[in-house]
Structure 1
Amino acid sequence: MIGKSARPRISSSPSPSVPQRALIAASFVSRVGNGLFNTAAVLYFTLVVHLPAARVGVGLTIAGLVGLLAGIPAGNLADRYGPRTVWLTALTMQAVTMAAFVFIHDWVTFTLIATLDRLAATAGGAAGGALIARTGGERPAAFRAKLRTFVNLGVVLGTLGAAFAVSADTRAAYTALILANAASFAFAGLIALLGVPNYQPLPRPKEHHRWAVLSDRPYVSFVALYGAMGLQYQTVSLLLPIWLSAHTDAPRWTVAAVYAVNSGVCALLQSRIGSRVETPRQGGRAFRIAGLLFLVSCPLMALTADVPAWIAPALAVLAVCVHSLGEVWESSGGYALGFGLAPDHAQGQYQGLFGIGFDAGQALAPVVLTTAVLGLGHAGWLLLGAFFAALGAAGPPVAAWAEHTRRSSHDTAHATQGRPAEAPLPDSA
């Protein structure tokens, strides 16, 4: 297992603020494009291309599962050749695949292009994580929290922009959204090319290998924990809207309100809380806080079915405020552990596994939430809150375990380096 000492990171850039601003700008631009496309993607494929909705879902599922395969290999390439090179390559590929969507006419072509797009997105996530670690200097987790604020803002702006195309409901409008998203990847790559340094690979120890992260049991455990806790994202985006529509008398505008509140709370508090969660130990504690907040928010969401229609929107907003605060603590803890436990020379590989865990959790979330929680009703909400609380309680022990293994590895390495070489045994021995 690869060890890592508990020391501050040393920035390889003499003036990190310039690369940080460039990376924030590039990420913001690409996420505006994501917001434009994601809002209307299913409508385009079903209403314009005339693919059956079920087949679109199957194609996206295939693409998502195959895309997971790119995480660790792309991270290894980022560690070996530099993260910016791999990230720019991934952005270029996404620009091409996104533009290709305007030419599809059948399901096979759609699935193939969607798969290539997800492979590029996963590769970009792994390389982007390594790039954040290098650009973030001594405080990569705090920088990642700041970056997420602008990323969320970009998605919101893109989503608002997509509303015009959806209201127009024409092929030209949807095509414009797709091409705008393709252009956003190209523009983001140009910003990164001009403003983000081409960080050189860091020296790697002899024991490093391409799959070293898989032998790092504490990190693998953390990734599993983070992927499972990631169900909380779709609790607000998927589960609560279905619950409000099917089980409450709340007016339909309540769904839009909870989306806005969730985005607003995260945008306002992400940097403030994220800057206070930097070390793995603080990350473990942040997970525990998040789990407790989810333990409160989930029953509140369930109660919206038991109150009058005029109270349900206020209760839903209150529940989402509590849940969003938990989301900020959860994401901040995830960044602190995800970056803090990864060796500097293998950030790409480790961020690749980090992304795989999160994406796998998001892929399973719709099935778990709609069957287990909705199927059990109020009891399902209570179990979901208890599940999140249990995951949060596991955060501090996992962080302590990881820090212990890294101290032990570091001490062993120093002891080995300082020990004199043993004399060879005589031939008669």
Structure 2
Amino acid sequence: MEDYGLGLFGGDPWWVVLIKTLLVFVVLVLLTLFNIWWERRVVARMQHRIGPNVHGPFGLLQSLADGVKLALKEDIIPKAADKAVYLIAPVVATVPAFVTFSVIPFGPEVNFFGVQTPLQLTDMPVAVLFVMAIASIGIYGIVLGGWSSGSTYSLLGGLRSSAQMISYEVSMGLALVSVFMYAGSMSTSEIVAAQDDLWFGLVLLPSFVIYVISMVGETNRAPFDLPEAEGELVGGFHTEYSSLKFALFFLAEYINMATVSALATTLFLGGWAAPFWIDEVWAGANEGYWPVLWFFGKVLFFIYIFIWLRGTLPRLRYDQFMAFGWKVLIPVALAWTVAVAAMRLIRPELELDRQGLLFIAAGLALVFVLLMLIPESKADRDEESTVAGPREGGYPVPPMPAGGPVRGSAQPLVFETDAEESHE
């Protein structure tokens, strides 16, 4: 993969670029339909249910039937909504989800209808930053959708999304810095080529773990789906949406899952390259269109992680979720970035080979994992569990079941009227 880099891009005929763009769009739509079906089947198996099995073989056409059902539903616009923003918001959320895949490499250079071209739409020296910037624009669609609906629940869901994106994108960006240092580039094609000998997911295991956690928070998926928590916000930012506009939000969520999974595959699992044991016994594993199979196999592995987490873990409280991002993920990611920079600096002086580097990386990874598992201090838990008691002259405060001075007390509610104040 030494010859695979930025020099391969920019010379394709216009019709090749058009066909590539169309293929990316079609693949993402079909992948979304498959992921919805797969999620239902896997969660059903976890819960000892059957799942979709009627429409088409193994129920594969169930997602298509749901899409048609959404399109035929009544389209309602709330009276209090800002109509222009309300209609534009789903589009703003969906379009960036498609655009981010323009720099994802699906495979090496191939013969494409008589033209030698890489299986990637385009690339640039800052391709990874481009993906993160475009993905951040999609959050505006969620925020604007919640704000323009004219509903309190929708507004709170949109605000939660913006706070969540800011919090977890910081840790995600810090996790990627070590990849840039090892690859010496921010180009997706060159990062894949830099993993020819060893995947960065093995050398930079803490970065890999931090990225995987951050990508779940970034995509608003369980157990981090606070912007659409039905127990608190009815449905979150899309409560007032129906028909195709709701379908666009749904489509954007699943394409964003595929985007962060494809980025994780590209940056940490060697991209489209075959696993090491296959590459060693089969010389043609990384040639032709076979790498597309390895790429989507790795992407579906990360999609399975999303589904597994949804079927396993309960939703966090919002304060727990934000505290985990700011107090655990970001400090650990920052410390690991400094450690990687130090390792890159001292490695030439110590003349470390690959095995020695792996031992050091494994030791540091163990230390950082232990740091992430350290429980909260007793003072922090006491501070969280303390509930303020009734305040004289204030609003009535009922006894709470949580810890603190109110537990087990039978203090009466305080109602203070103007007559009582004048009598005093």
TM-score, normalization: structure 1?
0.33
Higher relative contact order (CA 8 A, sep 6+): 1
TM-score (norm 2): 0.34
More helix by share: 1
Greater C-alpha radius of gyration: 2
